[in-house]
Amino acid sequence: MIVILGTLRFPPSNMARVRPHLQRLVMETRAHDGCVSYDVAEDLFDPGLIRYSEEWPDQAALDRHLTAPQIGVWRDAIAGLGVADRKFTVYAADEGRIL
């Protein structure tokens, strides 16, 4: 299992324009990319900050996601919306152990 935690930051004034693209990304990823979970949320206390949490069954599934059509559409859509401060960390989770 692969777990990813991440953040993206946008100017708060652009969030209304970001949300429809983000919703499409999440819906298409959940429907097509074989993820275990793929969740995003706007931080209630830090306007413009989006938090990601993702779970993938294996590296192959994550690799397919990273090259899926909706990723290119998402990147193109947000290119002019001030995306900044992109941080993602990938963890290999040991399914047989509770931390």
pLDDT attached to residue 95: 63
What's the pLDDT tens digit per position in 3-50? 999 999 999 999 999 999 999 999 999 998 789 999 999 999 999 999
pLDDT attached to residue 93: 81
Three-state DSSP state, 21: helix
pLDDT attached to residue 96: 57
d(CA 78, CA 45): 22
CATH of 2-92, one of 3.30.2310.20, 3.30.70.100, 3.40.50.1170, 3.30.230.70: 3.30.70.100
Please, which residues have CB within 8 angstroms of residue 14's CB and are 6 or more apart in sequence?
Answer: 48, 81, 82
- Phi, psi of 23, deg, nearest 5: -60, -45
Task: Determine if the pTM surpasses 0.85.
Answer: yes
Sheet of 2-9, strand order: 37-42, 49-56, 2-9, 84-92
What's the pLDDT tens digit per position in 54-97? 999 999 999 999 999 999 999 999 999 999 999 999 999 876 55
pLDDT attached to residue 34: 85
Q: Is 7 exposed, middle or buried (CB count within 10 Å of its CB: 0-12, 13-18, 19+)?
A: middle
Per domain, the residue ranges of the chain are: 2-92
